[in-house]
């Protein structure tokens, strides 16, 4: 579901949004200070002046009633590294702008510490144990093939004693099966990890495959022991043509996109 706050429009999963004690969002294209017209909401430091990114997050923090300096982000590398955010790390890239950590998933049990990942078509995965711990995952095709979501579920158990059966998750906006065209080598990597036929489609005319990345993430979570009924699904595609005015899309804009969306999750006050 979409919610408007001033100039911002945020997407929230209905299942996750029904829980008390945890907040989350996925940003959309407009409402910030980025781009030539100064109205885009970019959260990628690699796309423009970091001052604009920081200002966008300040706008967001004010809209959500969150402390800007507690937003925590990493340099994403399309891997499977899961990092626990402690007080030493909290605020990386924002309150601690010089702190640079490479990872693609963050977990924490510290309240009011939003975990932020950035997305241009890769799938955002929100994971939480009510009032105990949260996790935010950036799952591109490499990370999905490497089971980053499943490894994050394992980290929640290892670090916080949270069992998979206690988790509620949501798969946010990302590229859909209709849009995610891949070549043979990528298909083989994904197929090795996910042999299920319904995740793939082959186009013999173009000699290309299409993969259901959100569906693969769903399988990763259920394989890790998460109850399928406690996984929010059905988020819109970031790449479909009808959503071009809603989201940035690396694929849809052929790499010319002026920004990335942000996904975040946090514990409310303990």
Per-residue pLDDT tens digits for 18-49? 999 999 999 999 999 999 999 999 999 999 99
CATH class entry, domain 2-267:
alpha beta
- 72-82 confidence digits (pLDDT tens): 999 999 999 99
- C-alpha distances out from residue 253 to 115, 124, 223, 241, 247, Å: 27, 19, 34, 10, 10
Q: Which neighbouring-strand residues pair with 246?
A: none
Torsion angle of alpha carbons 74, 80, 85, 91, nearest 10°? 10
166-217, pLDDT tens digit by residue? Answer: 999 999 999 999 999 999 999 999 999 999 999 999 999 989 999 999 999 9
pLDDT above 90: residue 150: yes
- Identify the band that residue 270 occupies on the pLDDT scale cut at 50, 70 and 90: low
| Tokens (6 digits) for 51 | 């001052």
Closest CA to 247 of 255, 256, 238: 238
The Cα–Cα gap between 260 and 128 comes to 23
Query: Cα-flanking dihedrals φ and ψ of residue 148, to 5°?
Result: -65, -35
Judging by DSSP bridges, how do beta strands 181-182 and 168-171 pair with one another? unpaired
| Tokens 């979409």 found at | 2
pLDDT for 85-138, tens place per residue?
Answer: 999 999 999 999 999 999 999 999 999 999 999 999 999 999 999 889 999 999
226-246 as b/e: b if 16+ CB within 10 A: beeebbbeebbbbbbeebeeb
Domain ranges of the chain: 2-267
């Amino acid at each position: 579901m979409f919610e408007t706050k001033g100039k911002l429009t945020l997407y929230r999963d209905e299942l996750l949004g029904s829980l008390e004690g945890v907040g989350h969002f996925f940003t959309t294209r407009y409402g910030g200070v980025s781009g030539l017209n100064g109205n885009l909401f970019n959260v990628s430091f690699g796309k423009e002046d970091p001052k604009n990114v920081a200002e966008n997050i300040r706008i967001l923090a004010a809209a959500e009633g969150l402390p800007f300096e507690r937003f925590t982000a990493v340099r994403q590398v399309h891997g499977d590294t899961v990092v626990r955010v402690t007080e030493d790390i909290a605020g990386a890239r924002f309150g601690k702008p010089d702190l640079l950590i490479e990872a693609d998933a963050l977990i924490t049990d510290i309240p009011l510490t939003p975990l932020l990942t950035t997305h241009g078509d890769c799938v955002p995965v929100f994971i939480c144990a009510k009032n105990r711990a949260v996790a935010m995952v950036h799952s591109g095709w490499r990370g999905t093939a490497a089971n980053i979501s499943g490894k994050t579920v394992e980290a929640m158990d290892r670090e916080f004693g949270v069992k998979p059966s206690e988790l509620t998750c949501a798969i946010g906006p990302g590229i859909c099966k209709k849009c995610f065209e891949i070549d043979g080598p990528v298909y083989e990597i994904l197929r090795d990890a996910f042999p299920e036929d319904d995740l793939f489609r082959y186009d013999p005319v173009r000699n290309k495959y299409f993969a259901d990345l959100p569906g693969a993430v769903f399988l990763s979570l259920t394989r890790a022991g998460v109850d399928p009924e406690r996984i929010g699904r059905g988020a819109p595609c970031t790449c479909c043509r009808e959503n071009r005015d809603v989201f940035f899309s690396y694929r849809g804009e052929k790499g010319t996109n002026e920004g990335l969306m942000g996904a975040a999750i946090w514990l409310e006050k303990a």
